[in-house]
Amino acid sequence: MPELHDLSPTAAYDLLQTTPNSILIDIRSAMEYLFVGHPVGAVHIAWIDEPDWEINPNFIILCP
């Protein structure tokens, strides 16, 4: 079995660009995947999904 390593976002991007058979698996909840966003081409497999989450209509994201 291959050994697991932590990667920085930049290192993960570089690995995905230089290794054609690599796959990025996003294990966040469905709500995070849909509403926070996700990397292009990521495969979503929720590790823990929180079905009782509610969307906060008053949540604001400020981008400079």
Spatial separation of the C-alpha atoms in residues 42 and 20, rounded to whole Å: 14
The answer to whether position 30 is within a domain reads: yes
The verdict on residue 13 lying in a domain is no
- Does a structural domain hold residue 35? yes
pLDDT for the residue 14: 93
Domain assignment of residue 37, yes or no: yes
Q: Say how far apart CA 34 and CA 31 lie, in whole Å.
A: 5
Domain extent, residue 40, equals 23-50
Total domain count for the chain?
Answer: 1
CA distance 21 to 54: 37
pLDDT of residue 10: 92
Flag whether 41 is in a domain: yes
pLDDT for position 51: 64
* Residue 44 covered by a domain: yes
**What pLDDT does residue 62 have?**
72
Q: Is 40 within the bounds of a domain?
A: yes
In a domain, 16, yes or no: no
Whether the predicted pLDDT of 1 surpasses 70: no
The model's pLDDT over 4-55, given as tens digits with 9 standing for 90+, comes to: 778 898 998 898 999 989 999 998 888 888 888 888 889 999 887 666 767 7
